[in-house]
Amino acid sequence: MIAMIRQFARLLIITKWQCCDALSKAYVERVIVMSEVEARLAARGLELPKPLIIPQGVTLSFPWVSVRGERVFISGHGPQETDGSLSGPFGKVGVDVSVDEATGLAAKVALAMLTSLKAELGDLDRISGWGRVFGMVNAAPDFTGQPAIINGFSDVILDVFGQDIGRHTRSAVSVAGLPFNLAVEIEAEVLISG
């Protein structure tokens, strides 16, 4: 219903609005077209990064997001800066990267994943539920704090989507290494409507 209202409002603005200058019109269009999820992100001061800048010489033979009916499979994502570049610090948690830094990187992964979902789905409000999250931590052999690190991801999703939609099952494991020496990589599955 909300999506229909936004679509109607956008059409009304584009076709009927004659009373305001172009800048005001553009601002109102942005406010009306912004999804509820994007509004919650903005209210929290969170910004979605631009799409990932693929490192030179790397070819990806898979999509970031694969939609299969109501199920959406999301490939492993790493943390990104707002310009789309990979975000560090890089290396092993417990050696090169602190727990706090890794937790912050996991939060950045959530935003990177939302960028990919928005590109594929068009509207983050189509997400009707987060199904599962699989978090991988590039960690020293004796490191056991993986769940705390992946909480950085889960906390963003739960805060932005709320308990009903954001609640998900989760695994958090250590791995011997990750692509590009990332400290954290996370994959997920969501359900969509519409």
Q: Which pLDDT belongs to residue 31?
A: 46
* Neighbour tally for 101: CB within 10 Å: 18
Q: Name the least confident of 18-22, 71-75, 83-87, 153-157.
A: 18-22
Residue 194: pLDDT band by 50, 70, 90 thresholds?
confident
Residue spans of the domains in the chain: they are 2-33, 65-192
Residue 35: pLDDT band by 50, 70, 90 thresholds?
confident
- Phi/psi at 121 (5° precision): -90, -25
Q: Say yes or no to pLDDT of 134 above 60.
A: yes
- Phi/psi at 153 (5° precision): -70, -55
Distance of CA 164 to the CA centre of its chain: 18
Give the span between the Cα atoms of 33 and 48, in whole angstroms: 16
Q: For residues 113-128, give the mean pLDDT.
A: 97
What residues contact residue 62 under an 8 Å CB cut-off, 6+ apart? Answer: 75
Give the span between the Cα atoms of 24 and 17, in whole angstroms: 10
Residue 22: pLDDT band by 50, 70, 90 thresholds?
low
- Which tokens in the block code for residue 127? 């997400």
pTM: 0.83
Q: Say yes or no to pLDDT of 16 above 70.
A: no
- Identify the three-state secondary structure at position 123: coil
Give the span between the Cα atoms of 134 and 81, in whole angstroms: 21
- The 3-state DSSP composition of the chain as helix, strand, coil percent (nearest 5) reads 45, 25, 35
Q: Say yes or no to pLDDT of 61 above 90.
A: yes
Query: Which CATH topology does 65-192 take?
Result: 60s Ribosomal Protein L30; Chain: A; (3.30.1330)
Q: Running DSSP on this structure, what letter comes out for residue 139?
A: B
